[in-house]
Amino acid sequence: MGEARSTFEEIESSLKTAAAALRDAGLPFALAGSVACWARGAPQSRNDLDFLVRPGDAERALEALVERGMRPERPPEGWLLKAWDRAEDGSETLVDLIFGPRGIPDVGAVLERAQIVAVAALDLPVVHLDDVMVMKLHAFDEHACDYRGILAIARAVREQVDWEDVRTRTAESPFARAFFTMAEGLGIVGDGPPPHRPTQAAARIRVEGHPGPGPSDRWQAPGRATADAGSVHEHGDG
């Protein structure tokens, strides 16, 4: 992961296509990774696009993307599948379907905790920031421990994250402990109450240009909270 480079316009286009495909397949999913952070005000991502799905839905999710014209890839890692969305100019945007991230014992619980957030003019289920940070910190190892990106994200969304919850859930990782040492030294993480958590409520998702089945073109996503943040229009450097 992290090897692909796309323009953010290409990522937005692939996001709409992939979200529509997963929705129309009737699969629970949520936007994850750096784009989930961008939806809450973090810098723009120009790498891959991540979706979280249940382990039992991963193959069907990949089939749904392939049916929309994407090229499948099954990497040797046992926790994700990949699809490549080809643009008219021949460039490709990578879509990761993550179903077994480290640090997340119950993907279903994370999907239930997802919030509906306005992303690129769409109302999408987006992984809670606490869970995003847990997944990101657990992804660090001896071969991938560049903290620049996660520090920039943490600075942008710091008031939206329950850092003590994240610290507790990543305590066994020396890379996570190093992150907290740096974040505290830089004044990104400090003393203070955890952020307000929205109440769980029924919410809806709309994928523009891809009406769902039935009399309404909005798809019901029960049990997910609606985030207070609105659409993010500014594209910062990422």
CATH code of the domain covering residue 14: 3.30.460
Dihedral sign of CA atoms 65, 67, 72, 77 in order: positive
User: How many domains is the chain built from?
Assistant: 1
Average pLDDT, the chain: 83
Phi, psi of 52 (to 5 degrees): -100, 130
Asked if pLDDT for residue 69 goes beyond 60, the answer is yes
Q: Is residue 216 part of a domain?
A: yes
Beta bridge partners, 80, equal 98
Q: 193-235 pLDDT, tens per residue? A: 555 555 333 344 444 444 443 333 333 333 334 343 333 333 3
CA distances from 92 to 11, 15, 129 (A): 10, 13, 27
Q: 109-166 pLDDT, tens per residue? A: 999 999 999 998 889 999 999 999 999 999 999 999 999 999 999 999 999 999 999 9
Phi, psi of 64 (to 5 degrees): -65, -40
Q: Is residue 62 part of a domain?
A: yes
pTM over 0.85: no
